[in-house]
Amino acid sequence: MEISHRILLIEDEPKLGKVILEELKGQGYQVDLAADGLIAESFFKQNNYSLVLMDVNIPHKSGFELCKDFRAIKKSIPIIMLSAMGEINDKMEAFKLGADDYMVKPFHFDELFARLKVFLKRAELKDDEVKIIVDDLEIDFRNKTAVRAGVTVNLTAKEFTLLVLLARNRGKVISKQEILEKVWDLSFDTGTNTIEVYISFLRNKLDKPFETKLIHTKPGFGYYIK
């Protein structure tokens, strides 16, 4: 297996950090390990990473602070947060700050690797597909940007992936199950309201500031864009 992706791992617990580091390297990833927020920030500014995997409670600068800062610097980079804090409020705070996923410790490495692969699959676009335009919304795949009525809309990697799925199937109702499979790479319903939360995020960013609404719900069936 040949993988060239470079991952920034941020974990202040030495033993756990070393274990995760070795497991990731064993999967073929290039990994830089930072033990505190300031070192992580320095690494992030100096290197080009494919993904960030970080703990929430770290010295000098918290994972929440880093998540917000990293998202401002490179809005499309996938960010997965790891934490022993499993309360819904902690997860929602992470998502609001730009995290794409949130895993509660302890976790299984097989699950972590599966999620990593989902976020690192960036070569799914057709060669001739550069942009999709829906009304006054323009989605640019090369730059991973969304612009509505001339206004750039800042989206996380997961929000962008969800928007692309809807846009590629404009006018077609996409079920929750299909969204789970194609955006979260899950073949089963986790019983959480993750999809509803992300649809809400998209509506707040893409629809709320504008008169014409693009994202719609068909109760009992799913979501669509037109």
Residue environment code for 146-180, b if the CB has 16+ CB neighbours within 10 A, otherwise e: bbbeeeebebbbbbbbbbbbbbeeeeeebeeeebb
Tokens representing 88? 């819904």
Boundary of a domain, candidates 120, 141, 158: 120
What is the pLDDT, as a whole number, of residue 122? 53
Both 30 and 115 in a single domain?
Answer: yes
CATH number at residue 207: 1.10.10.10
CATH number at residue 104: 3.40.50.2300
Boundary of a domain, candidates 97, 120, 143: 120
Q: Read off φ and ψ for residue 158, nearest 5 degrees.
A: -70, -40
What is the pLDDT, as a whole number, of residue 127? 40
Mean pLDDT across 51-60: 93
Boundary of a domain, candidates 120, 143, 173: 120
Pairwise CA distance, residues 213 & 215, whole Å: 6
Tally of domains in the chain = 2
User: Whole domain around residue 197: which residue ranges?
Assistant: 131-225
The position carrying tokens 């703990």 is 55
Look over the chain and give the mean of its residue pLDDT values, rounded to a whole number.
87
Both 216 and 174 in a single domain?
Answer: yes
> Could you tell me which residues come within 8 angstroms of residue 76 by beta carbon, excluding any fewer than 6 positions away?
144, 157, 160
The answer to whether position 104 is within a domain reads yes
pTM confidence score = 0.57
Tokens representing 174? 């996409």
Both 193 and 215 in a single domain?
Answer: yes
CB 80 within 8 A of CB 100: yes
Pairwise CA distance, residues 175 & 182, whole Å: 11
Both 115 and 139 in a single domain?
Answer: no
For the segment 84-110, what is each residue's pLDDT rounded down to a tens digit?
A: 886 788 888 888 888 889 998 888 999
